[in-house]
Amino acid sequence: MQYSKTTLPNGMRVITVPMHDTKSLTLLVLFGTGSKYETRSTSGISHFLEHLFFKGTKRRPRPGQVHQELDDVGAEHNAFTSKELTGYWVKVDSRRFDLALDIVSDILLDPLFDAKEIEKERGVILQEMSMYMDSPMRRVHEVFESLLYGDQPAGWETIGTKEVISSLKRAEFAKYRESQYVGSNAVVIVAGNFAEDMAGKRIHQIFSKIKKGSPKPKLKVKEAQKSPKVSIEYKDTDQSHVVIGVRGYTMFDEDRYAAALLATILGGKTSSRLFREIREKRGLAYALMADAEHYTDSGYLSVYVGTPHDKLKEVVRRVVEAFAKIRREGVSERELSRAKDFYRGHLAIGLESSDEVASFFGTQELFKKALMTPEAVMERIQAVTTKDLQRAANFMFRPEKLNVAIIGPHKDPQPFRVLLKL
């Protein structure tokens, strides 16, 4: 997969990835800021600000006008905020590059931040917050990260708190944007079917208007766990939701590839160890998944399961036993080979879409200021050995790194804490 990369005088990086066999293109702009860059008094401002960019610009002042213009050409569009980045994207018919660029640049360069619209959006975000609280399958992951990192930005919820969302002022949004939305902290990516020379020139012309500067840095994550931990959020749910996980690797650690393959082997596919043991063999769950998360200065491997209330202890025990077994006995060459083939196929399918390609290249550039092609990533995956997996398992699957987050009608953590033995 070929790509081109240039840097504007303001420090903004531009990546173009041609995909001539598709009829669409994706324009994605990423900023290296998110909830880890907030304080207690601004918790949730990154996400709130993301919403406000769509509420009107100098050239498109009417609420809903941005959405209407994109809907009129059948475009897909959205934005997202996470712990360490915020992104704005439009996916359109390949003939609509100019419209995609015009709208994305317009909302980022000339937003109105109208006071009346800010007030309306408070209500929207508070409803979004309520929706997440009513979605335990999603929320349990937030409970897990809060357990893992505690009272520091890494452990706070990206959406913020009701108190802060209800009190943020227009001047605070302007100040945060001025600090974080600068050229050196931004990457713009175009992936899909487009005229490369024209696209590059137009992007340079328009996004050169973003100011120079260095963003305010985030606090480094502090990790100080000495024993297994359990967190329970009591809720009268139809099933218990649990995440069992361990501290792992950052996105810069070479052993992150081994961690990703261990997650695949444990619960990342329908023939994984835990899927067979918990769902197929024992019928204890419908939903089960495992994943390895890698941030700039922390990471973890986790397993999620939704299970009947009276089976929760058994599920926790079996996941912990699976961690212990893989540390004790390792992984066979055949199982590792299958995990690599799954990773390769999953990556290939995902990168058939221009939005996934844009994200693949953009997140690398934003955090690492260097790019690996999909082929280069697979070379790293292919190079992982069973000894590498054993080393990663020995590092991660230790009792003092175990964490269990639960949502359901449970109150006492002790019955679960006694199960956390490796």
Give yes or no for a contact between 235 and 411, defined as CB atoms under 8 angstroms apart. Answer: no
Examine the domain organization and report whether 195 and 263 are in the same domain.
Answer: no
Instruction: Tell me if 219 is assigned to some domain.
Output: no
Give yes or no for a contact between 291 and 266, defined as CB atoms under 8 angstroms apart. Answer: no
Examine the domain organization and report whether 203 and 234 are in the same domain.
Answer: no
Give yes or no for a contact between 326 and 397, defined as CB atoms under 8 angstroms apart. Answer: yes
Is residue 1 pLDDT above 90, yes or no?
no
Q: Which domain holds residue 297?
A: 229-417
Instruction: Tell me if 345 is assigned to some domain.
Output: yes
Mean pLDDT of 141-145: 98
Examine the domain organization and report whether 189 and 265 are in the same domain.
Answer: no
The Cα–Cα gap between 303 and 289 comes to 6
> pLDDT class for 421, splitting at 50, 70, 90?
confident
Q: Give me the phi and psi of 137, to 5 degrees please.
A: -60, -35
Give yes or no for a contact between 192 and 24, defined as CB atoms under 8 angstroms apart. Answer: yes
Mean pLDDT of 122-131: 98
Examine the domain organization and report whether 101 and 143 are in the same domain.
Answer: yes
Instruction: Tell me if 201 is assigned to some domain.
Output: yes
Say which CATH number the domain at 107 has: 3.30.830.10
Is residue 422 pLDDT above 90, yes or no?
no
* Count of structural domains, the chain: 2
Instruction: Tell me if 101 is assigned to some domain.
Output: yes
Is residue 294 pLDDT above 90, yes or no?
yes
pLDDT tens for residues 224-268?
899 999 999 999 999 999 999 999 999 999 999 999 999 999 999
The Cα–Cα gap between 344 and 223 comes to 33
Q: What is the mean pLDDT of the chain?
A: 97
Examine the domain organization and report whether 235 and 200 are in the same domain.
Answer: no
Calculate what percentage of the chain has a pLDDT beyond 70: 100
- H or E stretch including 229? strand 229-234
Strand order in the sheet with 288-294: 229-234, 402-408, 240-247, 299-307, 288-294
Instruction: Tell me if 224 is assigned to some domain.
Output: no
Helices (H) then strands (E): counts for the chain:
16, 11
pLDDT tens for residues 389-419?
999 999 999 999 999 999 999 999 999 999 9
Examine the domain organization and report whether 254 and 193 are in the same domain.
Answer: no
Please give the pLDDT value at position 354: 97
Examine the domain organization and report whether 197 and 235 are in the same domain.
Answer: no
> pLDDT class for 166, splitting at 50, 70, 90?
very high
pLDDT tens for residues 343-393?
999 999 999 999 999 999 999 999 998 899 999 999 999 999 999 999 999
The Cα–Cα gap between 248 and 394 comes to 11
Examine the domain organization and report whether 199 and 68 are in the same domain.
Answer: yes
Examine the domain organization and report whether 182 and 313 are in the same domain.
Answer: no
Instruction: Tell me if 191 is assigned to some domain.
Output: yes
Examine the domain organization and report whether 13 and 122 are in the same domain.
Answer: yes
pLDDT tens for residues 28-86?
999 999 999 999 999 999 999 999 999 999 999 998 999 999 999 999 999 999 999 99
pLDDT tens for residues 313-341?
999 999 999 999 999 999 999 999 999 99
Indicate the residue among 207, 239, 265 that finishes a domain.
Answer: 207
Indicate the residue among 150, 177, 207 that finishes a domain.
Answer: 207
Please give the pLDDT value at position 353: 96
CB atoms closer than 10 angstroms to residue 228 = 21
Examine the domain organization and report whether 233 and 361 are in the same domain.
Answer: yes
Q: Give one DSSP letter per residue of 141-198, joined into a string.
A: HHHHHHHHH-SSGGGS-TT--HHHHTT--HHHHHHHHHHH--GGGEEEEEEES--HHH
Instruction: Tell me if 220 is assigned to some domain.
Output: no
Examine the domain organization and report whether 31 and 124 are in the same domain.
Answer: yes
Mean pLDDT of 265-273: 98
Instruction: Tell me if 42 is assigned to some domain.
Output: yes
Indicate the residue among 207, 240, 261 that finishes a domain.
Answer: 207
96: Cβ contacts below 8 Å, ≥ 6 apart: 25, 73, 75
